[in-house]
A and B are shown apart, each in its own frame.
Chain A
Amino acid sequence: MSGATGQLLENLNALAGGLFLLAAFGMVATRQARGCLNLFITQSLLLAASAALLGLRYGSEHLYGVAVVNLISKPIIVPWLLRKTSPGEVYTRREVEQVLNIPTSLLIALALVVLAYFLGRPISNSVASQFRGPNIAIGIAGLLLGAYTLTVRREALPLLLGVLAMENGAFFTGIAISRNLPMLVELAIATDGLIVVFIMGVLTRAVQKHAGTTAVGELATLKEAAAESPAQAAKEEALAK
């Protein structure tokens, strides 16, 4: 591979990385569930693009495999599975009340990205030069932003997508630093991701049937209310009469 082409591929990869991060931000900021899903699909496509570019750059067939697995599983199978399992309501829901409002969320997300940069730097310094690149810090940022989404969202679909986005983030780093992982492992992880979608979809349907909402984060009956609970039950019963 000539130096100029290599440089071009690396620049394109950096562009994909930048857009990947942007998509992660978008998922933090989007209220619409469907918008979240579209951003997640974009993010997965960018992950595939980055894997393909790095594969081309370093002549790694294994990374092409990662790209193909991502192209098939996330943009195609995940939405299909979601349609099959979860109630249609999850798409139309809009989160009006998040735990934190969106500007605050974005500020925290920004802080997380800075943190990711500092976490990524020592890792980047201790791997061989061919494994370095923007992927490490951006992947960690994706991981942290996904985790952040999980803690502040209340709706089922954004939560589910947060889990998958975390996985995307881990992989975005993975394709740079551990690209010789056996293909089989990659496939198995992708399959696991699909099972995640299936199980969470089924659970969402059950929750919606029982509680009449897909805002799973609002379920909060189980906690340590030791002293009150019997008394409270008595009170409620008294009120019922």
Chain B
Amino acid sequence: MSVLIILLIPLVATALVCIPLKRAWPMAVTVVANAALLVLTTNIAWRLAAGGPFVSAPPVWMLKWISVDGLGALIVLLISLVATTAAIFSIGYLGHENLAPGKLRLYYANYNLFIFSMVAIPVLAEPTLVWIVVELTTLCSALLVSFDNTTEALEASWKYVLLSLLGAGFALFGFLVLFAAMQASGSSQPYTWSGLIAAAPRMPPVLLQTAFVFILVGLGTKVGLVPMHTWLPDAHSQAPSPVCALLSGVETTAILYVILRMFPVMQAAPNSHADAWAILLGLISVGTAAFLLLQVSDYKRMFAFSTVEHMGVILTAVGLGTSAASYGAMQQIVAHSVTKSFCFFAAGATLLVVGTREIAAVRSLIRRSPAAGAALVLGGLAITGAPPLAVFLSEFSILKAGVTQSRYIVTGLLAVFIVIAFFGIMLHVNRIVFGASDEDRTDGLEDKPIDGKKHPDTPSQQSNNPIIQQSVNPIPLSCKLALVLASVPVLLLGVYIPKPLHDLLALAAGALTK
């Protein structure tokens, strides 16, 4: 039953926030609903990790397709975690904008619908239904991406919708062929993920491989794998920061989860090349993102590219195929979700303080706002895998798994790209937070005391300074709270993985390898 409640909570919250009451009402409803969701999913994950049976809904009508196993529980747990912190962050982030009440309700209604569509992905076990909710995630978040209603945001939203739907079209074809493969295998199993694994050895290989390639490319578009990634930095940078945290932190992993579900099916079938596909696309994504990171000009885009990089790392790890690598991939999924959401909160706090997304326009943030500066540094270090933080541990276990398997070329390339990405991101973060010395020292001596006036002489300063100095807003309390809450798993998971989480990760990794 509890599985049904997971789906019901966001829907009820959507209905509740539409009631026109005070401004605080939709905010409070969303925070409470998502916190309740978090408690519920933690409970389910806990029970599964302790060796409990799969959690399913009563087997009637379409409810028979609802069930959660270890992998699903991990994803749904992450979604509800980020949904909660992002809901808290939204309060301060939107609060200062003085939005019309209708627009505020629209935001929260969309927000909760988006959460619904995301939690439905791991909860549903029937592939075509999963396809439907995957498409729903795009549609529910489209209006969130364009929420700022600037030309750029609208452009980003159009690109996002168009390319995601293009991918979804290919994926739909893939799922239909997969259904045909299931039929052709003569299996009497239901069309679910586990039924597919059971039927895989008798499926015609052509059908299975066609289905896999179409699903990989189609859903890969929405995950942001490299040849199809072009929309991602736009959408993930133009959306409001809490939405970015959701898009980048958990939406991508939720969609990647669907692709990962195909791997045990492919492994059960004779001579499939799923692993090679995964490593190829994964490495291309990591490599391209690493080099693009060096030349970004917008710090939110920077974190968006880092998402492309991480998706590539996870896919490569899954492609390595051993249980150690799969465990690393699961660890990376967790680390990515908690860290990336933290990064976007930090970026959002920075945006609130300085009012621009341009890297070139922000210098010496640490002096303007120590909190935002510190958060950005921590975020940058955490997301690039500096020890002793969460991503470091997960990337380390992936590389270790690669080396023990003697896959030196793949591991070596992965390590090189990760290091390049580290320098790319830290270069920019360092400039933003501590960068006063470079540009400001020449003219900064006279500039600093009369803070608030721009320099007429240098053209670069001219274009940059007015933006920074007109607004040094304080960071709202709720945003600080969200930052603190989000930083806890980032710091903790680098040094210590609690036993239940370890069991859950092992369970989830077990679902990936046959």
Contact = CB atoms under 8 A, between A and B. Distances in A.
Contacts of A185: 126, 128-129, 132
B99 to A, nearest CB: 16
Contacts of A56: none
Interface string A159-190: 10001001101110110011011101100110
Contacts of A170: 169, 172-173, 176
B84 to A, nearest CB: 26
B300 to A, nearest CB: 11
A229 interface: yes
Contact of B154 (A146, A188, A203): A203
Contacts of B169: 143, 146-147, 163, 166-167, 169-170
Contacts of B450: none
Interface stretch (A62-70, A100-108, A217-225): A217-225
A227 interface: yes
A128 interface: yes
Contact of B295 (A147, A181, A182, A227): A227
Given A199-B142, A238-B459, A143 B150 contact: no
B136 A195 contact: yes
Contacts of B462: 234, 237
A159 B460 CA distance: 40
A92 interface: no
B152 interface: yes
A224 B156 contact: no
Main secondary structure of the interface of B (DSSP, over half): helix
Interface string B157-190: 1110110011001101100110110011000000
B135 interface: yes
A157 B210 CA distance: 31
Contacts of A202: 143
A99 to B, nearest CB: 14
A137 to B, nearest CB: 13
Contacts of B152: 221-222
B464 to A, nearest CB: 7
B132 A192 contact: yes
Contacts of A189: 128, 131-132, 172
Contacts of A234: 459-460, 462-463
A96 interface: no
Interface string B497-512: 0000000000000000
Contact of A163 (B142, B165, B206): B165
Given A127-B184, A163-B166, A192-B136, A230 B176 contact: no
B160 to A, nearest CB: 10
Which residue, B131, B132, B165, B172, has most C-beta atoms of chain A within 10 A?
Answer: B165
Contact of A199 (B161, B179, B183): B161
A125 to B, nearest CB: 7
A139 B152 CA distance: 36
B155 interface: yes
Nearest to A176: B180
Given A123-B207, A178-B183, A203-B158, A226 B297 contact: yes
Interface in A100-143: 119, 122-123, 125-128, 131, 139-140, 143
Contacts of B210: 119, 122-123
Contacts of B204: 126-127
Which residue, A122, A189, A224, has most C-beta atoms of chain B within 10 A?
Answer: A224
Interface in B198-250: 204-207, 210, 233-234, 237-238
A200 interface: yes
A170 B131 CA distance: 13
A188 B292 contact: no
A189 B296 CA distance: 38
Interface stretch (A8-16, A77-85, A204-212): A204-212
Given A123-B210, A143-B173, A150-B162, A221 B146 contact: no
B151 A178 contact: no
Contacts of A211: 151, 154
A233 interface: yes
Contacts of A225: 297
A216 interface: yes
Given A178-B176, A196-B139, A233-B463, 8 more contacts: A125-B206, A174-B176, A195-B139, A210-B150, A211-B154, A220-B155, A229-B358, A237-B462
Interface of B: 62, 126, 128-129, 131-132, 135-136, 139, 142-143, 146, 149-152, 154-159, 161-162, 165-166, 169-170, 172-173, 176-177, 179-180, 183-184, 204-207, 210, 233-234, 237-238, 292, 295-297, 301, 358, 360-361, 459-460, 462-464
13 contacts: A126-B206, A143-B170, A166-B166, A166-B170, A180-B179, A188-B132, A196-B135, A206-B149, A216-B155, A222-B155, A224-B296, A227-B295, A230-B361
